[in-house]
């Protein structure tokens, strides 16, 4: 399978490239990204054949359907990393909360967030490709809180790769920050910036297409790639857990094979939702995908009105900070798949220049056939956390936004909903402690202990040990100093 450019070809780049080329160089002509030239399909027979498959078997068969140009031994080694999750036989538990609401828990990996589902195998694959080519790569990552720890974890001490991770200083939870700044591997650099995630992501995209920056890297014989979901190497792994979660409902007897479901996704950069969209197009019986946002509700506005409007928008700090995002990169792949490269280029360049675009009525109808959306305020999120705890379900504030969309977006309440839990409670413990007790602990450590006692659960060792680790990464810079900070790291 080949990959083509979302904004068309500029005559300088190849018209199509392989999977390995796309993950090594994720940016395409006119500032675009890469998408599959076509999608594989699987029918009910494929699903029936995998009802009793483990996660790795399902994942390998889906990857094979994409015909990725990666050696089978590398794929096997990458997928074997799921054996390090809490339960190797079931790395993605699907838990019943209400009769028609099931939560797919994507956070049982090493950094306790859903980014491990894609980045654990992705890191192994990219490093292996770089070694095979005898090339060295700088991997850029911009994070709102979860991509950073997962990228650092998967790439640390890997050959032929170095990582520069950008995060908004003060814009993550304490646990997320500690997961990054206590990393001490020599091939990792963590850079806090004075700004928000959109600033970090904008800096990443600027560097990815900067000839000056690439020339500076070439002086060190280093090429450039990215770990954010602009890289399709992330997205391909994010299609798999949607299929697995559906099959898990079949295994639990919650649905019959072929029954439709709603997918309910807390969305910031839209990669999680895009994985569900691709799974739907490939043949998964999905009625509709529901997008849950927080008060940074640009996606809700886009899906309900067709307007993507950043002109008067500023990031609002919320209790679900990993979703404090205004410019969601993977909307571009949706536009491309629905409307083609020419229209996508027109809309995305208009967003870059005017901070605004609007779909026409026919385009909006196509979007709304697939997606519905709502947003959840901080106060509503606190109420949903408490409500779920009353039926013995402990969840993070990002997962709570799904419960609002579950309440408001379903048109057919006979259809089961799969909501996606993107982070463990440990990542955002002060918010959860307040929701459950009405008390506001001063520090994450105190909040973790309060919740553990109230819920009768243990704090995972990966989280507990963070508070005793030395701070190894102390760099915090202004936005205009990012490039130099990265180059200094490479010296």
Average pLDDT, the chain: 96
Read off the pTM. 0.95
Residue range 74-84: mean pLDDT, rounded? 98
Strand partners, 103: 95, 419
Task: Answer whether residue 361 shows pLDDT above 90.
Answer: yes
How much is the pLDDT for 268?
Answer: 85
The whole-number pLDDT of residue 121 equals 97
Give the architecture-level CATH label for domain 91-109+234-423: 3-Layer(aba) Sandwich (3.40)
Q: According to the model, what pLDDT value does residue 225 have? A: 94
Question: Which has the closest alpha carbon to 487: 189, 225, 254?
Answer: 189
Distance CA 235, CA 43 (A): 21
pLDDT digits (tens, 9 = 90+) for 197-245: 989 989 998 999 899 999 999 999 999 999 988 999 999 999 999 999 9
Residue 265 CA to its chain's centroid (Å)? 11
- In this predicted structure, the answer to whether residue 442 has a pLDDT above a threshold of 90 is no
Tens-digit pLDDT profile for residues 252-288:
999 999 999 999 999 888 999 999 999 999 999 999 9
C-alpha span between 323 and 296 (Å, rounded) = 8
pLDDT bucket at 19, cuts 50 / 70 / 90: very high
Note whether 381 and 405 are within 8 A (CB): no
Per-residue pLDDT, 81: 98
At 116-139, the pLDDT tens digits run: 999 999 999 999 999 999 999 999
Question: Going by C-beta distance under 8 Å and a sequence separation of 6 or more, which residues neighbour residue 84?
Answer: 109, 110, 120
Instruction: Find, among 36, 94, 28, the residue nearest to 68 by Cα.
Output: 36
Tokens of 250: 């079949």
Joined tokens for residue 168:
């908004």
Count of all residues that appear for the chain in the document:
491
| Percentage of residues in the chain having pLDDT higher than 70 | 100
In this prediction, residue 491 carries a pLDDT of 86
pLDDT digits (tens, 9 = 90+) for 379-418: 999 999 999 999 999 999 999 999 999 999 999 999 999 9
Please state, in angstroms and rounded to a whole number, the distance separating the CA atoms of residues 277 and 242: 9
Quick one: pLDDT at residue 1?
85
CA–CA separation, 30 and 19 (whole Å)? 20
To 5 degrees, how large is the angle CA 273–CA 5–CA 323? 30
Q: Assess whether pLDDT exceeds 90 at residue 348.
A: yes
CB atoms within 10 A of CB 389: 18
pLDDT at 32: 96
Can you read off the two tokens belonging to residue 391?
Answer: 């039926």
pLDDT range class, residue 144, cuts 50, 70, 90: confident
Cα 294 to chain centroid, rounded = 16
Written in H, E and C, the secondary structure of the chain is CCEEECCCCCCCCCCCECHHHHHHCCECHHHCEEEECCCCCCCHHHHHHCCCCCHHHHHHHHHHHCCCCCCHHHHHHHHHHHHHCCCCCCCCCEEEEECCEEEEECCCCCCCECHHHHHHHHHHHHHHHHHHHCCEEEEEEECCCCHHHHHHHHHCCCCCEEEEEEEECCCCCHHHHHHHHCCCCCCEEEEEECCCHHHHHHHHHHHHCCHHHHHHHHCCCEEEEECCCCCHHHHHHHCHHHHHHHHHHHHCCCCCCCCCEEEEEECCCCHHHHHHHHHHHHCCCEEEEEEEECCCCHHHHHHHHCEEECCCCCCCCCCCHHHCCCCCCCHHHHHHHHHCHHHHHHHHHHHHHHCEEECCHHHHHHHHHHEEEEECCHHHHHHHHHHHHCCCCCCCHHHHHHHHHHHHHCCCCCCEEEEEECECHHHHHHHHHHHHHCCCCCCHHHHHHHHHHHHCCCCCHHHHHHHHCCCCCCEEECHHHHHHHHHHHHC
In sequence order, which residues have a C-beta less than 8 Å from that of residue 453 and are 6 or more positions away?
none
List, for residues 28-45, the tens digit of each pLDDT value.
999 999 999 999 999 899
pLDDT > 90 fraction of the chain, expressed in percent and rounded: 95
Check residue 388 and give its pLDDT: 98
């Amino acid at each position: 399978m080949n990959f083509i450019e979302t904004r068309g070809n500029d005559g300088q780049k190849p018209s199509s490239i392989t999977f390995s080329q796309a993950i090594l160089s994720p940016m395409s002509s006119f500032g675009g990204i890469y998408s599959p030239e076509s999608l594989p399909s699987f029918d009910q027979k494929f699903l029936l054949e995998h009802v009793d498959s483990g996660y790795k078997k399902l994942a390998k068969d889906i990857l094979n359907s994409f015909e990725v140009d990666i050696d089978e031994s590398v794929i096997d080694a990458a997928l074997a990393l799921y054996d390090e999750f809490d339960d190797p036989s079931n790395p993605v538990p699907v838990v019943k909360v209400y009769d028609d609401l099931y939560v797919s828990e994507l956070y049982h990996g090493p950094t306790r967030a859903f980014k491990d589902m894609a980045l654990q195998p992705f890191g192994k694959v990219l490093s292996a490709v770089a070694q095979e080519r005898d090339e060295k790569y700088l991997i850029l990552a911009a994070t709102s809180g979860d991509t950073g720890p997962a990228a650092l974890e998967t790439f640390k001490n890997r050959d032929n790769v170095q990582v520069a991770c950008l995060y908004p200083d003060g814009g993550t939870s304490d646990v997320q920050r500690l997961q990054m700044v206590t990393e001490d591997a020599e091939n990792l650099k963590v850079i806090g910036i004075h700004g928000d995630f959109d600033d970090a992501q904008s800096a990443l995209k600027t560097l990815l297409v900067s000839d000056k920056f690439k020339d500076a890297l070439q002086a060190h014989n280093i090429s450039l790639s990215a770990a954010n979901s602009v890289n399709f190497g992330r997205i391909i792994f994010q299609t798999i857990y949607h299929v697995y979660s559906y099959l898990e409902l079949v295994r639990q007897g919650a649905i019959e094979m072929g029954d439709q479901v709603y997918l309910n996704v807390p969305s910031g950069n839209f990669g999680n939702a895009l994985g569900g969209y691709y799974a739907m197009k490939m043949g998964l019986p999905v009625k509709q995908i529901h997008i849950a946002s927080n008060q940074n509700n640009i996606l809700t506005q886009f899906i309900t009105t067709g307007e993507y409007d950043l002109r008067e928008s500023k990031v609002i700090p919320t209790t679900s900070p990993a979703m404090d995002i205004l410019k969601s990169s993977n909307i571009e792949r949706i536009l491309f798949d629905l409307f083609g490269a020419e229209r996508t280029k027109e809309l995305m360049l208009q967003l870059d220049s005017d901070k605004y675009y609007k779909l026409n009525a026919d385009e909006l109808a196509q979007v709304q056939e697939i997606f519905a959306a709502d947003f959840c305020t901080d106060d509503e999120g606190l109420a949903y956390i408490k409500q779920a705890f009353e039926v013995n379900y402990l969840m993070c504030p990002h997962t709570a936004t799904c419960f609002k969309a579950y309440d408001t977006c379903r048109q057919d309440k006979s259809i089961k909903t799969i909501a996606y839990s993107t982070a463990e409670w440990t990542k955002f413990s002060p918010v959860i402690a307040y929701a459950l007790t009405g008390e506001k602990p001063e520090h994450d450590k105190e909040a973790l202990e309060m919740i553990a006692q109230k819920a009768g659960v243990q704090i995972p060792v990966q989280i507990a040990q963070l508070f005793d680790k030395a701070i190894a990464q102390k760099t915090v810079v202004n936005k205009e100093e990012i490039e130099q900070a990265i180059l200094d790291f490479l010296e």
